[in-house]
C-alpha cells in the first residue's frame, strides 16, 4: 500500500464514506467530520480551539495523505489552510475531493506548497515529473478505496492527468 496513515476531514456523510472505505482497505485514518450544514466560520472556530490545544499536531503528525471533502468550500480557506495545514507532515499529500471552486484550487495549491505539502485536486492543471507519478499512484489507490461511493469517486482526478504535487519533497515521499 502506498500510504499507511490517512486523515479525513470533511462534511457528513461524505467524510464517513471516505473513512469507511479507508478502514475497509486497512488504512487507519484520523477523522474530523463536521455536520453538512457547517459553514466556514463555525469550522474555523472549532479548528482554532483544536489548534490551541495541540490536537492537530498530535493527530496529523504521521499521516501520509489528508483527504478533504467539505460541502462548504469556504471551510478550506477559513479552517483547513490556517489551522490544519501547518500540522501536516512535510512531503505528505493533500487530496481535495470536495466542492472547491475550480479557480480556488490554485490558491489552495500555493498554500500547500508553502508548507511543502503536495496538493491534488480534480481541477489541477496537468504537470510532469516524479512528483506527478507519486500523486498518480495515490489517485489510483484512492480510486480503489472510493470506487463504490458516488459522487466521491467522480471527484477524483483522472490518473495520468495529475499535476497536484507542487512540493519539492513529493518525490522523496514516493519511497513510503
pLDDT of residue 167: 40
pLDDT of residue 128: 35
CA distances from 101 to 58, 104, 123, 166 (A): 30, 5, 8, 19
Q: If the chain, 176 residues long, is cut into consecutive pieces of 10 residues, what is the mean pLDDT of each piece?
A: 81 83 82 91 95 92 89 91 95 81 78 89 52 56 61 54 42 36
pLDDT of residue 102: 66
The pTM for the full model equals 0.76
Q: What is the pLDDT of residues 9-21, one digit of tens each?
A: 998 888 888 888 7
Q: What is the pLDDT of residues 113-150, one digit of tens each?
A: 899 998 887 665 444 344 455 556 566 666 666 665 55
pLDDT of residue 71: 83
27-57 burial: b if 16+ Cβ within 10 Å, else e: bebbbbbbeeebebebbbeebeebbeeeebe
Name the residue among 125, 63, 106 with its Cα closest to residue 88.
63
pLDDT of residue 101: 64
Backbone angles phi, psi at 139, to 5 degrees: -65, -40
pLDDT of residue 77: 93
Amino acid at each position: 500500500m502506498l500510504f499507511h496513515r490517512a486523515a479525513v476531514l470533511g462534511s457528513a456523510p461524505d467524510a464517513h464514506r471516505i473513512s469507511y472505505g479507508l478502514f475497509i482497505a486497512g488504512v487507519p485514518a484520523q477523522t474530523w467530520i463536521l455536520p453538512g450544514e457547517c459553514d466556514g466560520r463555525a469550522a474555523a472556530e472549532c479548528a482554532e480551539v483544536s489548534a490551541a490545544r495541540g490536537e492537530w499536531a498530535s493527530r496529523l503528525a504521521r499521516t501520509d495523505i489528508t483527504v478533504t471533502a467539505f460541502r462548504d468550500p469556504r471551510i478550506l480557506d477559513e479552517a483547513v489552510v490556517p489551522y490544519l495545514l501547518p500540522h501536516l507532515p512535510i512531503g505528505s499529500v493533500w487530496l481535495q475531493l470536495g466542492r472547491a471552486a475550480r479557480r480556488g484550487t490554485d490558491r489552495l495549491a500555493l498554500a500547500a506548497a508553502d508548507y511543502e505539502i503536495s496538493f491534488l485536486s480534480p481541477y489541477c492543471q496537468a504537470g510532469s515529473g516524479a512528483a506527478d507519478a507519486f500523486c498518480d499512484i495515490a489517485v489510483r489507490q484512492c480510486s480503489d478505496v472510493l470506487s463504490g461511493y458516488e459522487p466521491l469517486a467522480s471527484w477524483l482526478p483522472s490518473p495520468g492527468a495529475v499535476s497536484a504535487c507542487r512540493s519539492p519533497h513529493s518525490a522523496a515521499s514516493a519511497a513510503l
